[in-house]
Structure formats: C-alpha cells, structure tokens
Chain A
Amino acid sequence: MRIEIAGQNAFIVYFAEQTSAAVSAQIQAAVTNILATMPHSIVDLVPSYASLLVIFDLDRSDHFAVKQQLRAALTNLDGVDASAGDLVTLPVYYSEESGPDLETIAANANIGIDDVVEIHQQQEYRVYAIGFAPGFAYLGEVDERIAAPRLATPRQKVPRGAVAIADRQTAVYPAISPGGWNLIGLCPTRMFDPDKTPSMPVQVGDRIRFSAISRDEFIDQGGKL
C-alpha cells in the first residue's frame, strides 16, 4: 500500500497494481475505517479499481494531521468488519433491437448471440467504481470471450438503461449520453434517480447479477424502446 499526494487537500492511496475482488474488499474496509475514525476532516472519498482518493477539508485539518490519521486508519484493515456488499439483480432485455452490438460481439467471439447473452448472465460482477457520470457503475469482470474494445467512433447518443461492455467491464448507462461502449441490451431499472432515496440501486462493493427478461416484461417494468 502506498499513500501519495494527490493535491494540497487530497491523498491517493494505492492498494495494488491490479484490481481484484480482494483488493476491492480491502478498499471497502479502508472506506469504512476512514469514515469511522476521521469523520470531521474528510469531505469526500472516491474508491476505484485499486485506489482510494481521500479529500479533506483545508479549513478543518491539514496535510500533516490527515496523513497521520490516514496511516492509522489504514493499518489492520483485515480486522475491519466491512460489508461484503449486497447482491443486486438487474433485469435486462437482451436482443438485437435493444443491443445493436450483440451481433458484432458474437461474430468476433465466433459464438451465437444467445451464447453472448448467456455468458453475460453467468458472471457475478463487482461494483469497482462509480463515476464518469452520476450513477455510472463500473462492473467487473466480464468473461474474456465476450470482452470487446470500445467503439472506434463513440455513439452520439446512448439511451438510458443501455447495458454495455468495454474490455472486461460492463455497465448500465444511467442517463442518455454519448458513449463508446458496446451495447448488448436495455435495463428498465433506473441507475440514478435524484428524486429517489437512495438515488442509486447499487454502491461500490456490491455484487451484481444480470437476468434476462422479455420485451413485454421490459415494457411492464417501465422500459422504453
């Protein structure tokens, strides 16, 4: 573990060179411990694949005090009772109609479209990070057979709820936005709803499963085509 300066009011803690479920669990434990032991100086935390950005309030503390507290909070993470993460199932209407890149992924992998859909559902994913846009959860890891590089030319408009793959990551677009990921289906669950509490159905550290639904079920659950 390395603690580096990010800026005058921020540290970045690197836990490993690569990501894994174990590294992610360690980061969750660190988040829990930091929030419990230094709630007054911390203003925000950004957990990601193998790192944690720790932002503190310059009016309440300073680099030197926070560094000391941070060192203490990061020792003995093994003993921290961090949540193992909830298991959340997200319904997906997989089809060529809702997932325009299904065919390309299937062709590249030399398998059928049904196989791509099946393989995407077999995995239990972990929420490694939330960012890019409100509610955008980076989920890993996608089975290597259906991993697909980002599109050479991003789409101008990806619909809300689009289920997508980029390399070995998968995600559900929380809002209409431009995007370069490969689209394989649509999810009727809102990933970010500012008027709802909680505003997101998942958080970092949660485990996610995808489950296929029909076109009718998608519409019934509020989905729009």
Chain B
Amino acid sequence: MSGFLVRQPGLLSLLHDRGRFGAHKLGLTTGGPLDGVAFDWANRMLANDVNATCLEISFGGLVIEAQLDTSFVITGAVAPCKLNQDLVEQWCTHDIKPGDKLEIGFTSAGSRCYLAVSGGFDIEPSFGSSSTVLREKIGGLKGDKLQAGDQLPCISKRLSTHCYLAAADRPKYSDFARLRVVPGYQQAEFSPLQQWRFFNSEYRLSERCDRMGFRLEGETVHSDMVGMLSEGICHGAIQIPADGQPIVLMNDRQTIGGYPKIGAVIPRDTATLSQLSPGSRVRFDAISIEEAHNIHCLEQARFERTSLQPC
C-alpha cells in the first residue's frame, strides 16, 4: 500500500493514536501522544477520527516523500516546515502530490510536532492501538521508531476546502510552565512543610526526560514513608524517590511502582510539560478536584467552540 516513504527519520518519530487502553492487565503501558492537545487539533483540522494515527516528531529532522495525492497538517512545536523548497505554515492544512518532499526541520519552540494526514496513517493495531512504545517493542511499524526507508501507508484523500487555526488560538510554547496538580496517592505522607517546599519551589527539567517520565531537579522533598507495596501508577503521577527529586510519569511509564507519589499533574498540563526541553523551569500549583473538573470542561468547550478559519 502506498502513502509516504521515509527519507530521513529524524531523532525520534513515532506513530501514535490516542493510546493503548485496557492492556494494563498484561503490563502494557498506555503510549499515545505526549501532547494530546496538539494531536487532537491535527486530527480535527483534517476532519479525521479522533483516534486516527498521527506521527509524533520529537525535536524534528524528518523528511518524507509522498507517493499519492492527499492533504496534511503539522501542529505542535514550532519548526521550519518545507514542502519541496517552499516554507509551509503549521496549523494550516495543505495538499501534497506524488514525488513531493515534506521536511520538518528542528524545533525552535516546543519539542513535539504532530503530522496528520487525511484519514490517518493506516497502521495495524496491536492490543487495540497503533501507538508505538519502544520499551515494549509494541505498536507502530514493528514496535520501532521510524527508520529511513520505512513505508507509511495511508489513503489518498484530498480536502475540498483548506483551513487554518488562528494564531491567537494556537498553544504557545515557552521555557517555563505552571503545572496544575491534583494532590492524591500518598500526599498525606508528606508533612505540611514538605508539601509547602514542593508547591513553592521552582524545578528545572533534567537531561533525563523521556516518554516514560520527566525527571526534575530542585528543592528536595521527602515523605514519611518507610517502604510501600507496589501499586498502579496513573498518567501524570508525581513520584518522589529517595533522592527527593520529583519525576512526572508520562505516557510510557511502568504501570506499577513502589515510590511515594504526591499527586498527579492534570492531562492538560502534562501536554504543556512534554513540549518543554531540558533546562526549562516549572512550578507546581495544587488545585482541587473540582477545579480540575472545571478546567477540563472549559477546555473541552473551548476546543469545540473554536472555529477553524477557511484559507
């Protein structure tokens, strides 16, 4: 089946649908796009199914060649994108024809770009999902990241009208973020002083940030726990190991673990976190579950009400 041919795979380009759900009983993690917001926009702009498979391009460096007529959009991190020799705008749908070369250069603000094509990439699901998890060698093309020479199958489907997302409606990527946290899990095992330190300190992203977890550096935090039974870990959970340096657990996290957790970053803000690079700074704000509920509903409504502009 034709689609796109990978000329240069980039540093870390992975096929993802929204993620693998219902497979934790086998020890399989969720996977899925680190920035679900940019991912959802990409599929919406092409009128794709919400779960259609896109390409998550971390840090850029991808070159692919079209083998058919179709339409595409690139959302997420800011990167120079070229169709043949011409710069093309992100957050705007475009047509592509056989022989055209699409290049996504290195990211300058944000870390993850999302490339969607009309109808999504056609990837055989494993355990109900196309999401690639390298650690498990599951999903995508043989469980691996893109390699030069890979074939990305999709259908030929051109949009009849093109659209873009107004600049004011696009997410902004910077090197600082406030992350909202719903306290939970072993929160009560952290003394008021330790919690105060955690929620009033600035943390830096370490070099060790990947799809499993983002390790932060800053004020140390300690709990009163002495050993605990391993338990299920949810997306965004903030684990604090013995060295007192927090780790925000992301899409490819291990499903169970035995370190104390102070709560979890809300999904909206793990998306923001995933766009930051090492050295960026974050602060944590505790919010109630009611506030988290409100934020989710408002963001959902905003997403649905924001209209796309015709080109």
Contact = CB atoms under 8 A, between A and B. Distances in A.
Contacts of B61: none
Given A46-B232, A62-B293, A8 B266 contact: yes
Contact of A49 (B230, B234, B296): B230
A4 B189 CA distance: 13
B138 A43 contact: no
Contact of A203 (B22, B25, B266, B300): B25
Given A6-B184, A8-B296, A129-B256, A192 B231 contact: no
Given A7-B235, A131-B255, A50 B229 contact: yes
Contacts of B24: 44-46, 53, 55, 131
A51 B231 CA distance: 6
A8 B292 contact: yes
Residue of A4, A48, A192 contacting most chain B CB atoms (<10 Å): A48
B256 A131 contact: yes
Interface string B244-270: 000000000011110001011111000
A174 B237 CA distance: 26
Nearest to A42: B22
Interface string A16-50: 00110000000000000000000000011111111
A50 B264 CA distance: 20
Contacts of A8: 182, 236, 264, 266-267, 289, 292-293, 296
A132 B135 CA distance: 11
Nearest to B296: A58
A7 B264 contact: yes
A58 B267 contact: yes
Given A7-B182, A48-B256, A129-B256, A134 B27 contact: yes
A7 B231 contact: no
A10 interface: yes
B232 A12 contact: yes
Contact of A6 (B27, B257, B264): B264
Contacts of B182: 5, 7-8
A5 B291 CA distance: 14
Given A58-B296, A129-B256, A132-B256, A9 B234 contact: yes
A36 to B, nearest CB: 15
B136 interface: yes
A131 B229 contact: no
B21 interface: yes
Contacts of A130: 25-27
A10 B30 CA distance: 14
A131 B184 contact: no
Given A10-B264, A129-B256, A132-B254, 19 more contacts: A5-B289, A8-B182, A8-B264, A12-B232, A43-B22, A45-B232, A46-B24, A46-B255, A48-B256, A49-B231, A51-B231, A52-B232, A53-B232, A53-B234, A59-B300, A63-B292, A134-B136, A200-B26, A204-B25
10 contacts: A4-B184, A8-B293, A9-B234, A45-B24, A47-B232, A129-B256, A130-B27, A132-B27, A194-B138, A200-B26
9 A-B pairs with least C-beta separation: A53-B232, A46-B232, A7-B264, A131-B256, A5-B184, A10-B234, A49-B229, A7-B234, A43-B21
